[in-house]
Amino acid sequence: MKLKLAVLPGDGIGPEIVEQALNVVKTVVTKFNHDLHYSYGSVGAAAIDKCGDPYPEETHQLCLNADAVLFGAIGDPKYDNDPKAKVRPEQGLLRMRQQLGLYANIRPVITFPSLLDKSPLKREIIEGVNFVSVRELTGGIYFGKPQGRSEDGKTAYDSCVYHESEIKRILKIGFELAMQRDKKLMVVDKANVLATSRLWRETAQDMKDQYPEVKLEFMFVDNAAMQMIQWPKQFDVIVTENMFGDILTDESSVISGSLGLLPSASVGEKTSLFEPIHGSYPQVAGQNVANPIATILSAAMMLENAFGLKQEAEIVRKAIEESIKKEYVTKDIANGETYYTTSEVGEWICNYIRSRNVEV
């Protein structure tokens, strides 16, 4: 099979973690006799520094012409700390989602047996957790108009806007994922306060008859934030709007014990994009200490979801499980004084894949 990738390392630790994920992909496609083609593009602060645009047209065309996008992270403190900056790295991420039609962010949350004690939550609460969050990605308050500030700058306003068509397409993904899993769908909203949430709830109820096997439930977002920590094993598939999803999916990262362990896929109308859920972590950029596992797991999602390569994805996941089990990991999830660099962990995973006997 021919695999055509757009590779967007981005900012901070992005280049380091994407390098390891790409090395793993190269190792897998070589082992299974696939044909890999990839090209690099600039995005975020790196793109602003290069051409003044956080999502250049050249990068957009690169993504459109690819079968999938492997993405690192966006963000740089020199823009975060400048309130008067007219162009920010995050604007590139929002434009990329919008222009590529990436309206659904899918984030699986699982626990690794050997890392249960790394989570701040009790072992009995998180052992066996396995759910998927589906976050709407191109609507809501992050994109709503009008948005701005008053002339004197002392009043600011944002608008949360959702159309029924936007809600239907994201709920369709949630229902279909639930059908593939335990047939439970939780719609998270704030329908007791927000008109947009009431539209979400009405739309989900209208669609329920199309999926009679799925148990549909609703939960207010504040309750969901509490329940996710107290009883995470109750969830199977969660679907929610943009801002609620942004917050809840980051909250869910504490279940596994580290932001560096959770992958994600953003899918929609055009090319699909695969990325770790964490940010650019500029404080350690270039130090070869960042955890590459979330990015490598994102690459595994890419192999399976974008190309249908289930066996290839499974061998990557198995390699990661073994690296964690044997404690060949970076400092953030190490149990003792022994830990390894970003590149050492990546190379261990590649070597594990090379050593496996598989039928091609």
User: Considering only CA atoms, which of 340, 314, 311 is closest in space to residue 326?
Assistant: 340
Residue 106 burial (CB < 10 Å; 0-12/13-18/19+)? buried
Out of 39-43, 92-96, 220-224, which region has the weakest mean confidence (pLDDT)?
Answer: 92-96
Please tell me the predicted confidence (pLDDT) of residue 239: 98
- In our burial notation (b when 16+ CB lie closer than 10 A, e otherwise), range 326-345 reads eebbbebbeeeeebbbbebb
Residue 216 has pLDDT above 90, yes or no: yes
Question: How many whole angstroms separate alpha carbon 103 and alpha carbon 241?
Answer: 10
Cα maximum dimension of the chain = 68
Give phi and psi for 271, each to the nearest 5: -70, 140
d(CA 245, CA 242): 5
Q: Is residue 107 pLDDT above 90, yes or no?
A: yes
Q: Of the ranges 44-48, 79-83, 100-104, 189-193, which one carries the lowest mean pLDDT score?
A: 79-83
Contacts of 199 (CB under 8 A, 6+ apart): 162, 164, 167
Averaged pLDDT, 89-112? 93
Mean pLDDT of 278-304: 96
pLDDT value, residue 84: 66
| Torsions phi, psi for 217 (to 5 deg) | -135, 160
Beta carbons of 133 and 127 less than 8 angstroms apart: no
> What's residue 359's pLDDT?
62
pLDDT-derived band at 169, boundaries 50, 70, 90: very high
CA nearest to 140, candidates 75, 80, 221? 221
Q: What is the DSSP letter of 67?
A: S
Residues known to be catalytic: 142, 190, 222, 246, 250
In this prediction, residues 241-263 reach a mean pLDDT of 90
For residue 345, pLDDT over 60 is answered with: yes
Q: What is the mean pLDDT of residues 204-209?
A: 98
pLDDT for residue 137 is more than 90: yes
How much is the average pLDDT of 262-283?
Answer: 92
pLDDT tens-digit readout, 21-49: 999 999 999 999 999 999 999 999 999 99
Token pair of 158 as six digits: 């944002």
- DSSP-derived secondary structure letter, 328: -
pLDDT, average across residues 123-141: 95
Q: Is the pLDDT of residue 99 over 60?
A: yes
Q: What does DSSP say about strands 263-267 and 272-276: parallel, antiparallel, or unpaired?
A: antiparallel
Residue 360 in this model has a pLDDT that exceeds 60 = no
User: What pLDDT sits at residue 140?
Assistant: 95
Query: Is the pLDDT reported for residue 118 higher than 90?
Result: no
- The residue-averaged pLDDT of 161-184 equals 97
Token pair 């090395």 in the structure block, residue: 23
- DSSP single-letter state for residue 33: T
Q: How many CB atoms lie within 10 A of CB 275?
A: 29
Task: Write down the pLDDT at residue 4.
Answer: 98
Is residue 137 within 8 Å of 102, Cβ to Cβ? yes
pLDDT band for position 83 (cuts 50, 70, 90): low
The residue type found at 12 is: G
Distance between CA 14 and CA 18 in Å, rounded?
6
Of the candidates 2, 8, 17, which has an alpha carbon nearest to the alpha carbon of residue 262?
Answer: 17
Residues in CB range of 166: below 8 A, 6 or more apart: 103, 136, 138, 139
Mean pLDDT rounded to a whole number for the chain? 94
- The 10s digit of each residue's pLDDT in 8-24 is 999 999 999 999 999 99
Rounded to an integer, what distance in angstroms lies between the CA atom of residue 301 and that of residue 46?
A: 26
Show the domains of the chain with their CATH numbers: 1-102+264-360 (3.40.718.10), 120-256 (3.40.718.10)
**Predicted confidence (pLDDT) at residue 155 exceeds the cutoff of 70:** yes
Residue 268 pLDDT = 86
